[in-house]
Structure 1
């Protein structure tokens, strides 16, 4: 599995030392605002086990993200197969950072590196991103990394109960578009 580096970040495999700060990220109501309920420590730990299994199986997935200057864990960024049952297919880019890491350009920096990996190493023809209609911060990152939205592609997430988290937007970027 490739470790990805930027000037300020390292995207790497998960470590046992990431479990506690990852659980804190998943227990933060502001971080989870557009994702559904808070995760318990057990649910958070289980997510890391799934991330590691995906890496072992595919060679890519959700990388742990740390700040190079401090070695501090701040969240994840990466790629995942679109879930079955969605009204589109492909590979999705995503990120989730601790609130203390918001507003510093880390999500954009990590996402650009992930896009480059997806296009240059995996040779994906397209990468998509999904978020709730109300998650304006993530939509801004999607636009900053060159993704575009066609409102005709917006959809109600079939895995989410009726409510404010069900309406979603879909952003795309093609390999030929470049980053």
Structure 2
């Protein structure tokens, strides 16, 4: 399947390259960046996560792309769309998500890249809805969901986290195609 790249005024969302693994690990191995996830990742876990993202792109032509500054930093994070591989009250569904490196935060990159991904999801893929979710404590993430026009739809227990895990409860946000 052909691999898609998306181009905006400041950013490019592109397929993965081998040199992306090191800066991805800088995010996935950083306790502050991963504070709303179950744990920081080892280098092997981060590389395996990248491989899953790459495999999704290879299978579908789209997924979690690497975010690159046009004419600048070759890696500022990852943003994209993904088929949710587990069951919940809102699946099957496509989610949007993001991880931006600490050095690139507070520049509007997550919002700009997410808008590009949403435009692709609704325009090219003709999705009827895109969802997003995060822990209640991840204020920056759910505020971005709201800025993107997503609407809160309650909460749910993440099925990949065990009963009693402090991050198991997640907030769900939805964006139907007509509002994108």
Residue of structure 2 equivalent to 1:30: 32
CA RMSD of aligned residues (A): 1.1
Counterpart CA distance in 2 for 1:105 and 1:31 is 17
Query: Does 2:175 match 1:173?
Result: yes
Q: Is the 8 A contact 2:151 2:173 kept in 1?
A: yes
Structure 2 residue matching 1:92: 3-state secondary structure:
strand
Deviation at 1:11, TM superposition (A): 0.5
Instruction: Give the whole-Å Cα distance in 2 for the aligned partners of 1:45 and 1:98.
Output: 16
1:100 aligns with 2:112: no
Match of 2:124 among 108, 112, 121: 121
CA contact (8 A) 2:96 2:114 kept: yes
Is contact 2:79-2:117 (8 Å) kept?
A: yes
> Displacement, 1:166?
0.8
Matched with 2:15 is: 13
User: For the residues of structure 2 that align with 1:98 and 1:164, how far apart are their CA atoms?
Assistant: 24
1:158 maps to what in 2? 159
Q: Does 1:137 find its partner at 2:134?
A: no
- Bigger shift: 61-70 or 116-125? 61-70
- 1:64 and 2:66 correspond: yes
| In structure 2, C-alpha distance between the alignment counterparts of 1:48 and 1:28, rounded to whole Å | 16
| Larger deviation, residues 43-52 vs 10-19 | 43-52
TM-score normalised to structure 2 length:
0.94
TM-score (norm 1): 0.94
Give every structure 1 segment of 4 or more consecutive aligned residues whose post-TM-superposition deviation is greater than 6 Å: none
Provide structure 2 residue ranges, at least 5 long, that are not aligned to the other structure: none
Structure 1 residue 83, shift from structure 2 partner: 2.5
> Distance between the aligned counterparts of 1:87 and 1:133, measured in 2?
18
Q: Which runs of 5+ in 1 are unaligned?
A: none
SS of residue matched to 1:146: coil
